[in-house]
Amino acid sequence: TWNMDGHLASVTGDSDMLVFQMSAEGVVQWVQTAGGACEDPDPWDDRPRHALREPASGDLIVTGDYAGNASFGAFTLPGWCEYRNLFVAAYDEDGTVLWASRATGPDILVDAHVVGPDNNIHVFGIVAQAPATFHGSPSIELSTGGFHATYGTDGTLINADHILNTGEVYGA
């Protein structure tokens, strides 16, 4: 259990995360946890989770990977403990999770995400082991290699493209 300026947060898995907002003065305004009870399938991978403020709405967009079923506020994303799945989640200025989206597969890694001029969220990374399924209507399956996935401001999958046969996309 963590105590951050009186905000208590408990984690259950070995790769759970804390998402929090601080004021300009450095005072913690809210704290949320996310994740599940599974062990990280690759505990030696120190790949960070990424967070970025969406300029038009002020929402906080967070991306990364998870193993097993993972909870983000009221949203639970299904997955398998032996897989490293992708998540994209949005938090409002009060720390409420607005939506959470996923891609599932044996090994999906997020390298970066940006918010485009159209306010869509662009996620870049690698499908290290295929196939990977980006869930939406319709869902999109990608093979091994670099990818670019686009999500709307409501978390809807707009598109997912295979952009490299080998290698990763860094610092997009």
Helix (H) or strand (E) segment spanning residue 149: strand 145-151
Kindly state the DSSP code that residue 26 receives in the 8-state scheme.
S
Q: Name the token pair of 43.
A: 């505990």
What number is the average pLDDT over the span 145-149? 93
Residue where the block lists tokens 């905000």: 7
Please tell me whether the overall predicted TM-score, pTM, comes out greater than 0.95 for this model. no
What number is the average pLDDT over the span 94-123? 91
User: According to the model, what pLDDT value does residue 134 have?
Assistant: 97
Which range, of 74-78, 92-96, 144-148, 165-169, averages the lowest pLDDT?
Answer: 165-169
User: According to the model, what pLDDT value does residue 24 have?
Assistant: 87
pLDDT tens digits, one per residue of 23-44: 889 888 888 888 776 765 555 4
pLDDT at 15 over 70: no
**Contact between 40 and 49 (Cβ < 8 Å):** no
User: According to the model, what pLDDT value does residue 142 have?
Assistant: 95
Q: How far is CA 171 from the centre of its chain?
A: 16
pLDDT tens digits, one per residue of 64-83: 888 888 889 999 999 888 88
Query: Cis peptide before 131, with omega less than 30 degrees from 0?
Result: yes
- SS3 sequence of the chain: CEEECCEEECCCCCCCEEEEEECCCCCEEEEEEEECCCCCCCCCCCCCCEEEECCCCCCEEEEEEECCCEEECCEEECCCCCCEEEEEEEECCCCCEEEEEEEECCEEEEEEEEECCCCCEEEEEEEEECCEEECCCCCEEECCEEEEEEECCCCCEEEEEEEECCCCCCCC
Which range, of 8-17, 21-30, 129-138, averages the lowest pLDDT?
Answer: 8-17
